[in-house]
Structure 1
Amino acid sequence: MEQVLVAGATGNTGHKIIQLLKSSQYFEPIAMVRKEEQQAQFRAQQVQTVLGDLEKDVSHTMKQIDKVIFAAGSGGKKVEAVDQEGAKKMIQASEKAKVKKFVMLSSMGADQPEQSEELKDYLRAKHEADAYLQASQLNYSIVRPGRLTNDKGLGKIQLSKSLNTQGQISRNDVAQVLVRSLHEAATNKQTFEIIQGDTLIGEAFKDIKQ
């Protein structure tokens, strides 16, 4: 089984990613947490943890890691330090460790951050992190969802390199897309947007290269 490091494991989407990996026959999750007291919740689920702070050196978190899902975020508080520079640190460490794939949770609008007055700083940070990953030597998938909801997952999405429309999507479905991107060849070195839709997630991947 491949060891998958999840940055942002304590977040709402990160928690769902951990559960999906835990039930997978292909992957074993490693939850990256910032504080020691956050380890207990994962130990109770028999999930391994590693201590790592995105504002500090993270190279030690990559021992025996095969793939990475970056789902961390500062919640708008430290967008440059965490969402941008923290992501870059993880990408650098992944390159050095020769990680097989890096899956990035980004956001719709990250390609044109200046168009959003309210989220401009956040989207600019995401844009910089995405560009850094695209320019790296890593195999990657950059997933850009619409507005995240806590609704029940439908297992159906709309997917395109550029959707040209606004929309929302449940965290459950985003987590499904991120985990499936770990082994879905169609997502290799691809950046794409997703919102709630009518196409089964597995079928939707076929549309990426169109």
Structure 2
Amino acid sequence: MNVLIVGANGQIGQHLVDVLKEEGKHTPIAFVRKEEQVKSFEDKGVEARLGDLEASVDDIKGKMDGIDAVVFTAGSGGSTGPDKTLLIDLDGAVKVMEAAEANGIERFVMVSAFGADDRDKWNEEIKPYYVAKHYADWWLMDSELTYTIIRPGALKNEDSKETVLIKDAIEETDDYSIPRVDVARVIAASLDNEKTFRQAFDLTTGDSIIEEALNQLQ
């Protein structure tokens, strides 16, 4: 599949590009917002498309020719205010979903946030971020897209552990962290694993090999 990675220049996005290239099963295509980012990906042999999540749905749709699946891992970033969180993490995400539907793309993977489905788990300091993720996830679940929603815990820049804990078993751990590269590996493994279709789950480091953990989803 040709996989459009929205937010490819982010840390998880960059890991995902590398993982997909390494595995060779799917072709990563980067969706980025700056010309220099396009060149950076092209220099390492990855097709990149320049786009803006604050543009119209039609503009975003125009970047999706030849795409088979979309991964949304974009975010406004920690240095922006609630206004950008609303425009990127919520409205930007929904516009990408609308564009995918309009282009006949069925497969959609969303990188959300740990506990975004449960208001009692929201961090008050970044509550607008959780609100955006919560409602973007609900829009996706209410769509006709074949979605997977991955809600990773605290993200770390560490080497891959290659083992994870997902869904209900999450209550059994005291460590809610996960390396960003392992989030990317879970995304890659989810793309054509039917056990993950129309599923949403929290994700941390655990003791299960990624494929085994995903295959336990029901």
TM over 0.5: yes
Please tell me whether residue 103 in structure 1 is matched to residue 87 in structure 2. no
- 2:135 & 2:34 partners in 1: Cα distance? 27
Q: 1:64 aligns with which of 45, 63, 66?
A: 66
**1:44 corresponds to:** 43
Offset, 1:161: 4.8
Higher normalized helix content (fraction of residues): 2
Q: Which moved more, 1:92-101 or 1:157-166?
A: 157-166
TM norm structure 2: 0.91
Decide whether the 8 Å contact of 2:156 with 2:178 is kept in 1: yes
Decide whether the 8 Å contact of 1:162 with 1:193 is kept in 2: no
Are the structure 2 counterparts of residues 162 and 56 from structure 1 closer, same or farther at C-alpha, using a change threshold of 3 Å? farther
- 2:3 & 2:51 partners in 1: Cα distance? 15
- 2:149 & 2:164 partners in 1: Cα distance? 16
Identity of aligned residues (%): 40
Q: Deviations over 1:132-151 (max 9, x none)?
A: 10000100100001000001
Q: Deviations over 1:172-205 (max 9, x none)?
A: 1100001111111100000011101111101111
Offset, 1:99: 1.1
| Structure 1 segment 1-210 matched on structure 2, within 5 A | 2-57=1-56, 58-76=60-78, 77=80, 78-113=84-119, 115-161=122-168, 163-164=170-171, 167-209=176-218
Q: Deviations over 1:15-49 (max 9, x none)?
A: 00011112233211110011112111111111001
Offset, 1:82: 0.2
3-state DSSP class of the match of 1:195? strand
TM norm structure 1: 0.95
Offset, 1:162: 6.9
What residue ranges of structure 2 are gaps of 5+ in the alignment? none
3-state DSSP class of the match of 1:133? helix
Are the structure 2 counterparts of residues 89 and 192 from structure 1 closer, same or farther at C-alpha, using a change threshold of 3 Å? same
- 2:191 & 2:168 partners in 1: Cα distance? 18
Are the structure 2 counterparts of residues 8 and 162 from structure 1 closer, same or farther at C-alpha, using a change threshold of 3 Å? farther
- 1:176 & 1:161 partners in 2: Cα distance? 20
Decide whether the 8 Å contact of 2:115 with 2:202 is kept in 1: no
CA RMSD after TM alignment: 1.3
What residue ranges of structure 1 are gaps of 5+ in the alignment? none
Decide whether the 8 Å contact of 1:113 with 1:120 is kept in 2: no
3-state DSSP class of the match of 1:129? helix
- 1:143 & 1:196 partners in 2: Cα distance? 13
Decide whether the 8 Å contact of 1:6 with 1:29 is kept in 2: yes
- 1:125 & 1:10 partners in 2: Cα distance? 21
